[in-house]
Structure 1
Amino acid sequence: MSNTSFVVRTGTVLTDPLTSRPLRFVSFNIPSLHLNDDPQFQLTTPWEQADVLSSLSQLGGRVTRTYVLGVQTPEEETSTATTKHIIKAANGTGAVLNERVMVGLDTAIAAASNAGIRIIFPFIDRWEWWGGVESFVKLINPSLPPSAFYSNPAVMGVFKSIISQIVLRNNTVSGILYRDDPTILAWETGNELELDGGRVPATWTQNVAAHLKSIDPNHLVMDGSFKHGWDGSVLNDPNIDLYSNHYYRHLSFSPGEWVGMGLLAGVFIAAIVLLCLTTCCPRRVKWVKTPPESYRHRKETRFRQFLTIFIAFVLAGGAIGGIGGIIAHRIPNPRYGALSNSDAALVASHNKVFIAGEFGLASAASLTSVLQNVVDNQPAFAGALVWSLRGHCKSGGFYTHEEQHGYAAYHYPGLPANKAQGFPDDEQTIITTVKSMAKDLATQTGYTITPPRIPTAPTLIPSTISPTNIRWLGVPGAISYDVARTSNVPVSSESAWTVVKAGVTDNVKCNTTIFVDAAAVGGTSYAYAVRARNEAGVGPLSDPMVVVAP
């Protein structure tokens, strides 16, 4: 199901050319779609691209967002094999595209077209993990500060040149110019762009957007600034169609929580005042003082004093505990839903479209609240992209990526938690939630999600550790696998296969053994085959692999 027509924006609505109805989506970022960055930078193979896009399609995802163009860093300048898209020109001045790495983007776009998935593509990064704004400036003029990216005419000229080379590039796989390919949903000016902890200059954003529209009027343009909101001139700019924000952990309280903490703070202050008066000036506290000054009454006064001090401590401790409880609850449960809805409302007031471009590293409830905004058809809220999805690895297992706060990238169809191998505790919950909401949106918008099919056969990979350490190329959407074995070697149609292990999951890191046949007898020749299981049924056995047990 290839993409044949462009998505268009009319006011606060994106129109899906496939259904002629609004395009609304919940899906995932796939940052490694065109370049893997973990465990090291390397081109993503066409097989890996097809695998992760097939997973996203089965999930009901209709749009994804890749990561940026990598920029050669100063540390890489002596390397002739840098795996970055933008590199220093051969004459030592300026920047050019690295054709060897650009082919990975070509294959990614072609694979997305084949899968019927559209791509949002950000040009450059605020951060330096892939090489970003700072490294780009250094390629042009090492003496300039990073802020020159937004103000220096020479730097802007080179950046526009790079944009033009991308937009006007002829895809080496499909033969289609990028600007003519409807697979690309939108060009994004960058990823999480900000200047000195504040807004990107409006003139810079407008300049880049105008340049994009001048060379590519068909594609949508998305602002790639981050966290600091938008100037009115940017929101009203006719060259900018989409606005986005990213949501990661930070403290933000609801009005009710502010009221609650205010009341608790008042209780705390009152308790401290009472404690001080009772301790230092007990005679000023009417309830504590008990005349006349007899021994019995002095004893009663001391008892009341100690009781009041105890009550003051309890009140103060309870107030602090209450405030701490609100904060402790809010840290892992940030208000993503409310914050993103507020951003969308602002964008809607300017008759534009909003997309939650990234959000994650928080509780399932926080992530679900953003997705729910799309399902509830909040004004201008066209889509939400969870951070992030990774696919199978060409060497067996999955690509994994650890994030902050104990979170990690997700994998379809939602595999059992295995934190030691990079599979987070919330993976099955998040995958199930996104899939369910994608199904709801498909019903609302008239889109048909292809039902699951019987899985294809895996491909066994020879082990470099031991012949009976089994691994294979995984199948998109496979829930588990059966490992079968026969000693009837050479294998024929008469060979009797025995399932030595059913329900094996491939939730392991790339290039890791998936199954070890501990029951194999040394010196015996065996043939192994694997079959996949998914919600549609059981697939065929793979081609056999013959080994001699050590």
Structure 2
Amino acid sequence: MSLGAAQYGPKFFGFNTPNLHLIEDAVPWVTPTSFEVNDGLISVLQAGSSVTRIYTLAIGPSRDTVHITNNPANSAFSWKPIAGTSNPTLFANEELFVALDNVLAAAGNLGVQIIVPLIDQWDWWGGVPAFASMHQVTTDEFYTDSHTSANFFAVVEYVAKRNNTVSGIQYRNDSAIFAWETGNELSMGGGRVPAQWTTSLTKLLKNVLNVKQYVIDGSYSLYGWDTEVLNEPSIDGFTGHYYQLPAKFLIASSISNSVSPAGTIIFFILSALCFILSIVFCIKPSLFRIKSDGKNLCALLGSVKGPSNQGKFDMALVSAKKRAIAICSLLVFGFIAFFALASVFIWLGLFRVKYADRFNVDHDLIVKQYKKLFYVGEFGLSSLSDYQNLLAAVNASQALGALVWSLRFHSRNGGFWNHDEGGGVQSFHLPGFAVNRTTAVGIASTGFGDDELAVVDLMKSYAAGNGASKSSQYYQKPPVGDPILFPPNVTKSIINGEAVAFVSLTWRGSTGARSYIIERAVSDPSIIEIPSNETNFVAVYSGVVDAVASGQTMLVDQVRAVPFSYRVRGLNEYGYGPYSSVVTAF
């Protein structure tokens, strides 16, 4: 589809929601509940976006929670053979596809559109490595082996033709899908995916399967695109992913636009200056105030006797030789120090192009030169200023929008699902929390990054300026959904001769609640004599957040050891949400 034929609406600024159809942050992985799906989708709407992006299909051994396998031995799931696959025959996990059905049906009902990448280049969810292993080929041969490609294309056909068990709509006709991406960050041998593989897949989607959604090349933008791919009519557009990358990866991949022009220029100017000074010093040491009697450096270092001294040592030349050796040593040390520092600078990314600069290069190529669609499918793991500059560039461009990596929604067990991205970077949560909390519970030993509130507010601000739906029943509205207060855990003790109880409270939150009010009442006023104001619910805590890892305690209330009842209520800057049901602590 050409750029001129595209119907442009407001740009989308939002979040990737990789867990929306399969939660990788649980052990073992689980499919999300209807509450979790709706919480994720409504959170996206509350942040002002109507587009989000899930992660790929999970591929691998049937012992894992995967969508596609070649060995359906796990009886915990129902497996369906995929037509057109052979040697090996591949099978689809019906339970996991039903979970995807639920996501698309809910998205359609709520007015959210989903970007669906088909396969991952990396092995996080099995991806190309697992698919290749099933076919006993290398990861590079995934793209070149005709039989492996044929089996993968059969999987794509199975997915596109699937009838949603909830909505009854075939995936290829479902308006809840915004776009199909051929994959996530696809590459081969540290370079581009073969054009023939990409165009064969996009022609299958667009021309054979007649999908009604955009078809996007999911190749890794880091490597650029072949002209054949850029010109291919069955490809509607392209996506850019922007992350800080290790220097060894930049050097190995020879990506010219991944290193800052300014940093490169400075590097070569300093290198050239050192080189020129070294040549000049060797030819004419006298310019460096060294008495050399017109000798070059080599002649000077080989001579310590003057012509007029009848074979006696010329002390001036001896002194000059010592100075020359000292300067040579300094130059050698300078070279070593400079190259060592330069390597460190490159390694730390100080010479790399900002995300905005990389985006502008990609955007101008794709949108201005080839008249195709373009959006930022992922960005993250960098500084707030990098994000600000990138979003400003996207906002000023003809790109469709940008999605930050990544959002995790409320957990069925209370609190939120969390994901540690490494390097101290955490997943984001809505509506955004000014906390930095970590809990040590196995894989859930992740928390809330100290940049969360700033990044979330930044994304919301760009969404608000790009036509975020003011008429939505969720946008800029009070929290949605009744919180569920779980039965509390109670421990009792004697303190100063009085029996006290420690009541640990956890609840499943309301979507969009920034904090909660906790109310308490004595359950049975006849047990003890109590003040009249404790017979009814009164607010005993406010400003309590549910920003904890899944299932963790949010509040411990110390009370007299008598039965108390509790209820909670969420609120945000737009009002109060509904109350939870009442629970009693004995």
Q: TM-score range, shorter-chain basis? A: 0.7 to 0.9
Q: CA deviation at 1:37?
A: 0.5
What is the letter of the counterpart of residue 162 of structure 2? R
Matched, 1:245 2:240: yes
Query: Using the alignment, how far apart are the partners of 2:342 and 2:88 within structure 1?
Result: 57
Matched residue, 1:18 = none
Instruction: Determine helix, strand or coil for the equivalent of 1:48.
Output: helix
Q: 1:472 to 1:419 in 2, by over 3 A?
A: closer
1:211-230 → structure 2 map (5 Å cutoff):
211-213=204-206, 214-226=208-220, 227-230=222-225
Question: SS at 2:559's partner residue?
Answer: coil
CA drift of 1:67 comes to 0.6
Shift in Å at residue 312 of structure 1?
A: 7.3
- Aligned residue among 511, 519, 522 for 1:476: 511
Q: Tell me the secondary structure at the aligned position of residue 42 of structure 1.
A: coil
Does residue 108 of structure 1 match 2:103? Answer: yes
Q: Does 1:406 align with 2:412?
A: no
Among 287, 291, 301, the alignment partner of 2:289 is 287
Query: Against the structure 1 CA distance between its residues 50 and 383, is the aligned structure 2 distance closer, same or farther, given a 3 Å change threshold?
Result: same
Report the counterpart of residue 186 of structure 2 in structure 1. 193
Instruction: Report if aligned partners of 1:525, 1:546 keep a CA contact under 8 Å in 2.
Output: yes
Distance 1:258 1:126 in 2: 30
- CA spacing shift, 1:396–1:192, aligned 2, 3 Å: same
Alignment partner of 2:165 out of 172, 175, 182: 172
Q: Is the 8 A contact 2:483 2:569 kept in 1?
A: yes
Contact kept? 1:455, 1:537, Cα under 8 Å = yes
Q: CA deviation at 1:88?
A: 9.0
Instruction: Determine which of 460, 473, 479 is the counterpart of 1:435.
Output: 460
In 1, Cα distance between the equivalents of 2:462 and 2:175? 25
What is the aligned partner in structure 2 of residue 71 from structure 1?
Answer: 59
Query: How many Å separate the matches in 2 of 1:138 and 1:307?
Result: 60
SS at match of 1:529: strand
Cα deviation, 1:223-263, whole Å, max 9, x if unaligned, reads: 11113222111111111102113222125333222222223
- CA drift of 1:157 comes to 2.8
1:512 lines up with 2:552 in the alignment: yes
1:117-132 mapped onto 2 (5 Å cutoff): 117-132=112-127
1:44 maps to 2:32: yes
Deviation at 1:382, TM superposition (A): 1.3
Alignment RMSD (CA, Å): 3.8
397, 400, 419: which is aligned to 2:415?
A: 397
- 2:267 corresponds to 1:261: yes
The amino acid across from 1:537 in the alignment is: G
Shift of 1:344: 1.5
Query: Which stretch of structure 1 is more off in the superposition, 174-183 or 481-490?
Result: 481-490
Give the match for residue 356 of structure 1. Answer: 376
Residues 163-198 of structure 1: CA deviation (Å, up to 9, x unaligned): 222112121112222122111011111111112222
Deviations 1:197-241 (A, max 9, x none): 221111111111111122224221111111322211111111110
Q: Which residue of 1 aligns with 2:485?
A: 460
Cα gap change, 1:306/1:469 in structure 2, threshold over 3 Å: closer, same or farther? Answer: farther
- Structure 1 pair 241–99 and aligned structure 2 pair: CA distance change class (3 A): same
Cα shift at 1:465: 7.5
Cα distance in structure 2, aligned partners of 1:333 and 1:406:
21
Bigger radius of gyration: 2
Alignment partner, residue 30 of structure 1: 17
Name the stretch that deviates more: 172-181 or 64-73: 172-181
Larger CA deviation: 247-256 vs 530-539:
247-256
- TM-score normalised per structure 2: 0.79
CA distance in 1, matches of 2:288, 2:87: 84
Q: Structure 2 vs 1, CA of residues 527 and 104 (structure 1 numbering), >3 Å: closer, same or farther?
A: same
* Cα pair distance change 1:198/1:305, threshold 3 Å: closer
Q: Is the 8 A contact 2:521 2:534 kept in 1?
A: no
Q: Secondary structure at the match of 2:234?
A: coil
| Correspondence for 1:3 | none
CA contact (8 A) 1:71 1:135 kept: yes
1:188–1:224 contact (8 Å) kept in structure 2 = yes
Q: How does 1:130-209 map to 2 (within 5 A)?
A: 130-139=125-134, 141=135, 143-209=136-202
User: Structure 1: 5+ residue runs without aligned partners?
Assistant: 1-8, 16-20
Amino acid at match of 2:476: P
Q: Deviations over 1:342-364 (max 9, x none)?
A: 11211121111111111111111
> 3-state SS of the aligned residue for 1:468?
strand
1:146, CA displacement in angstroms?
3.2
TM-score (norm 1): 0.83
How far apart are the structure 2 equivalents of 1:207 and 1:459? 50
1:417–1:425 Cα contact (<8 Å) kept: yes
SS at 2:400's partner residue?
Answer: strand
The corresponding residue for 2:92 is: 97
Q: Is contact 1:459–1:543 with CA below 8 Å preserved after alignment?
A: yes
**What code does the residue aligned with 2:454 have?**
T
2:355 matched to which residue of 1? 336
Q: CA deviation at 1:151?
A: 2.9
Bigger shift: 366-375 or 301-310?
A: 301-310
Give the Cα separation in 2 of the matches to 1:544 and 1:532.
14
1:26 and 1:84 map into 2 onto residues whose CA distance is 38
2:81 touches 2:90 (CA, 8 Å); kept in 1? Answer: yes
Q: Secondary structure at the match of 1:543?
A: coil
Measured after TM superposition, the shift of residue 122 of structure 1 is: 1.0
Instruction: Report how many residues are paired.
Output: 523
Name the stretch that deviates more: 55-64 or 144-153. 144-153
1:383 aligns with 2:401: yes
Q: How far apart are 1:388 and its partner, in Å?
A: 0.7
Give the superposition deviation at 1:31. Answer: 0.5
Q: 1:149 to 1:255 in 2, by over 3 A?
A: closer
Letter in 2 for 1:515: L
Is the alpha carbon distance of 1:364 and 1:145 closer, same or farther for their aligned partners in structure 2, counting shifts above 3 Å?
Answer: same
Q: Would the aligned equivalents of 1:26 and 1:438 in 2 still touch at CA under 8 Å?
A: yes
Aligned-partner residue type, residue 458 of structure 2: T
Counterpart amino acid of residue 469 in structure 1: S
Which residue identity does 2:32 align to in structure 1?
T
Taking the aligned partners of 1:391 and 1:341, their CA distance within structure 2 comes to 32
Q: Secondary structure at the match of 1:170?
A: coil
Q: 1:80 — aligned with what?
A: 74
Amino acid at match of 2:149: M
1:512 positional shift: 0.8
Task: Give secondary structure in 1 for the equivalent of 2:42.
Answer: helix
Q: Could you list the per-position Cα deviations for residues 21-72 of structure 1 after superposition, in whole angstroms to 9, with x for gaps in the alignment?
A: 5342111111000000013311011100100111111111121111111112
Give the counterpart letter for 2:355 in structure 1: Y
**How far did 1:544 drift?**
1.1
- Looking at structure 1, the residues matched to 33 and 2 of structure 2 have their Cα atoms a distance apart, in angstroms, of 37
CA distance, structure 2, for counterparts of residue 93 and residue 305 of structure 1 = 73
Matched residue, 1:544: 582
After superposition, the Cα gap between the structure-2 partners of 1:36 and 1:13, relative to the gap in structure 1 and judged at 3 Å, is farther
Q: In the aligned structure 2, how far is the partner of 1:194 from the partner of 1:506?
A: 40
Any idea what the Cα deviations from partners look like across 1:503-527, whole Å, max 9, x if unmatched? 111111111111111x2223x1011
Shift of residue 489, structure 1, vs aligned partner? 3.6
Quick one: distance in 2 between partners of 1:155 and 1:332?
Answer: 40
Paired with 2:447 and 2:39, the residues of 1 have a C-alpha distance of 19
Residue type matched to 1:178 in 2? Answer: Y
Shift in alpha-carbon separation, 1:51–1:315, aligned structure 2, 3 A: same
Task: In structure 2, list runs of 5 or more residues that go unmatched.
Answer: 65-70, 248-257, 294-308, 439-445, 492-501, 527-531
